[in-house]
Amino acid sequence: MASFRRAKYVRLGGPDGGDGGKGGDIFFVGSDNVSTLSGFRYRKIFKAQNGNDGRNSCRSGKRGDDLIIKVPRGTLIIDSNNGKILSDICDYQPQILARGGKGGWGNIHFATSTRQAPRFAKPGSEGEEKEILLELKLLADVCVVGYPSVGKSTLISIVSNAKPNIASYHFTTLTPVLGVVNLKNTKPFVIADLPGLIEGAKTGVGLGHHFLKHIERCRLFLHMVDVSGNENRDPKHDFNIIMNELYGFNSEFKKRKMIVVGNKCDQASEDQIEDFEKYIKKMGHDFFAISAATTHGIQELFYYINKILPNLPDIVRYEEEINEEPQIYNEEKNVNIVKREGVYFVESGWISRILKSINLNYEDSLEYFKKILFRNGVFDSLKQAGVKEGDTISINDIEFDFWEQDV
């Protein structure tokens, strides 16, 4: 603010304009009360509060309130311009994404022995502005994968608190379902049920391709196969198809621990189960035969999972790919000079912002503006561009004649 002290019996009270308040910052924070990113489909612009203007009597303006945006844990914040990861929201610690601008200076800062009544103030700097993409990759210790209708949802409904839709038709599960497995005298862990995969899922066939990204964080894959061969299917063929889809989507999956679960063993012969078990163990995977419908073998399977989980790598967390200090307060003083029809046009964002603080009706304000241009090399750039005395200079539609004594 530009103001002056006015009080009875006080002559020439001098400037007393206070500084502006800093703009609010924008934070993202993980929350278990938010499960999807659907709320961002309709609201796409978020702004923190501006700082308040300075006031008289040297009073500073109030700082703008921060904006805290809640997202599901596991959300990646990606720069839409270059695809780099800005932040990985895996915990409940707020992550700052955009910083508010610094408050401007009141005219009290510009008083000198020769300029005792400055009628101008300095505007605040602009806050950061970013265009981002939000991508959710679920946080789960164990992910159940496999063909549709092999019993994945039934299994999760038995061992956890999750309530997935269960029906006898393919693609009953349309969205990922998370549940917490809490066995007696063991540490609980999170299990995820994903929509069924089919051949070509990695290229966009079926529903599973939308959710393959969710298993990238998982520590353990639970690959469920219908070992009974219902619907005239070959369990070995189904197993290989899903493995090709997983590895084709992300070759890093080859390093993850996998347990193969032969479900519907109550409908299969002992020879079918034994033959499939030999095939799986030959490939180096653990095998469990269960029946989700009768709960046979489920307890042994999940106690084994609980036993090996502590020895597996932690849930994948993505490192920030951009770790730069904000450039709000240290803006480069770039100037572009263009000559059109005998007029030299000076184009620069920082000069435009400085002009907001200049009162063109007062000589001392104009002198201050000239000093800024001189200190930042604008006059030197004009000379290099061929400006001579008497030539017209235009800055933000403000025109003036160039004279050597001004420099």
Convert the pLDDT of each residue in 10-30 to its tens digit. Answer: 888 889 999 999 999 999 999
Handedness of CA 380, 381, 386, 388 (dihedral sign): negative
CA 307 to each of CA 185, 188, 303, 405: distance values in angstroms, whole numbers, following the listed order:
12, 11, 6, 84
Structural domain boundaries in the chain:
26-136, 142-311, 336-406
Q: Tell me the CATH number of domain 26-136, given options 2.60.40.1150, 3.30.200.20, 3.40.50.300, 2.70.210.12.
A: 2.70.210.12
Residue-level pLDDT at 48: 95
pLDDT at 59 over 50: yes
- Look up the CATH superfamily of 336-406: GTP-binding protein OBG, C-terminal domain (3.30.300.350)
Residue-level pLDDT at 162: 63
Task: Taking each helix axis as running N to C, give the angle between helix 235-249 and helix 270-282, from 0 to 180 degrees, rounded to the nearest 10.
Answer: 30
CATH number for region 142-311:
3.40.50.300
pLDDT at 70 over 60: yes
pLDDT at 261 over 70: yes
pLDDT at 275 over 90: yes
The C-alpha atoms of residue 143 and residue 238 are separated, in whole angstroms, by 18
39 vs 364 pLDDT, higher one: 39
Residues 323-343 have a mean pLDDT of 65
Q: Would the pTM of this model clear 0.75, i.e. be above it?
A: no
Residue-level pLDDT at 112: 83
Residues 235-259 have a mean pLDDT of 89
Q: Write a three-state SS string for 90-147.
A: CCCCCEEEECCCCCCECHHHHCCCCCCCCCCCECCCCCCCCCEEEEECCCCCEEEEEC
How do residues 95-154 score in pLDDT, each as one tens digit? Answer: 999 999 999 889 888 888 878 888 878 888 889 999 999 988 878 899 898 888 888 888
Question: What 8-state DSSP symbol labels residue 284?
Answer: T
